[in-house]
Structure 1
Amino acid sequence: MTSLEKSIQVQKQYLADMTEPGRPDTPMRTAGLVECWFSLGLYHHWQGEDEVARTEWAQAASLAQGYIERDLPALTSKRAPNYARLAMKTALAAALSGQDPLARTFFSYTERFSTGLVTGHEERPADPGAVLDSMALLPLYRVYSLIRLGRLSGFHGLIFPKANSEEAVWVETDIHGLLETAEHCLAIGRREGLKSFASETRLIPLLRALVAVLEGRGAAEAARKALVTYERSIRDMAGFYYIYRVTLDLKAAFPTVFTV
């Protein structure tokens, strides 16, 4: 049995366990089911079962949408970053299942939550330290979402004004400032002895190459090469989970860039 087959078996068993009659409907259960349906979609797509995958992604998106929108009225700026990861997964699941309007809504949520904003009209994040994690997950969620929304400038963000800055400032910036901030966060993580992963480190040059094309400064060939490099970074099931979903989404969202 291959690693992929084992993963499918584990996820299906988890799904059966979590949907047993009488199982309490808790936030942890919902998050687990979203993860399960999303993973199964990736695995089945890899195996060429596209329709099965789309159905599973649609299920993941529906569950996550209900969970987030139920909590949204009471969500605070301080708690918003905790919802960014699930919002990002919802956006990707919606996009991969062909629900573009829903995907756009949740890329908007991800963009706000990942920088500590709920409505987008707050003056600044309530807890700046919570949105600049040393693995650059939240900054990259925001960068990715802004690119998918077609917004490359005209917004505020927490950025490090200089390469050796220790304190970020909330200023008007653009996608380049946010990418530099993500790199800065990764550098802080390395200084702290944290391991970095290809899913983040190699995503930055890919997004830079894509932005260059979108701004009319770069060639699509360079972006395609960066995407190939990123996809070839998959070394294990964890890398597959984080990298494969991005490559699928980018190819579908920017066909004129990533299709030869």
Structure 2
Amino acid sequence: MPESYKGGRKQWVADVAQVMQVKQQSLANLTRPGRPDTHMRAEGLVECWFSLGLYLQWQGEKEMARADWTRAASLVQVRVEQDLPTLTSERTPNYVWFVKTAALSAALSGQESLARTFFSYTERFSTGLVTGHEERPADPGAVLDSMGLHPLSRVYSLIRLGRLSGFHGLIFPEANSDEAVWGQTDIHGLMETAEHCLAIGRRERRQVFASETRLIPLLRALVAVLEGRGAAEEARNALVTYERSIRDMADFYYIYPVVLDLNAAFPAVFTA
């Protein structure tokens, strides 16, 4: 069980059994004959496959986990290829979770090339760009959420793609202002943007989750290693701290796949 899980082993076992039962029932409902093939149905299927894959992986059922993750990535690939020709900047935030989940699903099922394609989609959509060739997003405010989800999704995707500088992004030039501008920046500027969004969320008394707040120190430590400024041991310690912040099912859903992905994507840093 995750070592910091609330309620201990008994609660963990009960929660896993309940969640897996719910997801399996949802899959049965979503795949029954005559169910309309809507985007919402596709999102439901992807969420179920992705979630079940995480629990199966944890239990050691690695082949079954990979099969579920492969199903999730394949479905998103079909839907995004269908929707991309008519996708607009204003609608891209609605696709961020979809393509990021597909990126992790592809990576965890061993399809790194496909994962990079989805991380590219995530990087663009999370900043309001469709093709990546636009001069600026049509609606900058749409991707600056108070939980920092979209900025962090872009940061993570850029790191996974090996792009740490040489791009534009939404930044807050003035520390005491919530007015974001589109300008030249780097991975550090984007992490500051994510932190600013989280600060806005706290100010508005919105719930902020460990999966976001504790991800930033981990990514900073990883970037420091990639830039040749930091020690791998510090990044490994940050990853351990991040994994130990799993305290409930929601934490597990968001934190565990990142732990798996970073270990596999950066073995020289985390597993050497």
TM-score, length of structure 1 as denominator length: 0.98
1:163-178 to structure 2, matched below 5 A, reads 163-178=175-190
Structure-2 residue corresponding to 1:208? 220
3-state SS of 1:172 partner: strand
User: What is the CA distance between 1:255 and its match in structure 2?
Assistant: 0.6
Task: Please give the per-residue CA displacement for 1:18-70, whole angstroms capped at 9, x wherever unaligned.
Answer: 11111221111111000000001001001011111001000010111111111
Partner Cα distance (2:171, 2:228) in 1: 25
Q: 1:120 aligns with which of 105, 118, 132?
A: 132
User: What is the CA distance between 1:162 and its match in structure 2?
Assistant: 2.2
Deviating 4+ runs (over 6 angstroms):
none
1:234 aligns with 2:234: no
Partner Cα distance (1:21, 1:83) in 2: 26
Partner Cα distance (2:255, 2:175) in 1: 28
Structure-2 residue corresponding to 1:86? 98
Q: Which 5+ residue runs of structure 2 have no aligned equivalent?
A: 1-12
Partner Cα distance (1:18, 1:105) in 2: 27
1:108 aligns with 2:120: yes
Bigger RCO (CA 8 Å, 6+ sep): 2
Task: Please give the per-residue CA displacement for 1:73-115, whole angstroms capped at 9, x wherever unaligned.
Answer: 0001111111111110111100101111110111000000000
Amino-acid identity (%): 76
Structure-1 residue corresponding to 2:9? none
Q: 1:248 aligns with which of 227, 241, 260?
A: 260
Q: 2:72 aligns with which of 53, 60, 64?
A: 60
Letter matched to residue 23 of structure 1? R
1:131-210 to structure 2, matched below 5 A, reads 131-210=143-222
Partner Cα distance (1:10, 1:173) in 2: 43
Structure-2 residue corresponding to 1:18? 30
3-state SS of 1:154 partner: strand
- The root-mean-square deviation of aligned C-alpha atoms, in Å, is 0.8
Partner Cα distance (2:214, 2:30) in 1: 35
Structure-1 residue corresponding to 2:15? 3
Structure-1 residue corresponding to 2:57? 45
TM-score, length of structure 2 as denominator length: 0.94
Partner Cα distance (2:177, 2:229) in 1: 29
Q: Which 5+ residue runs of structure 1 have no aligned equivalent?
A: none
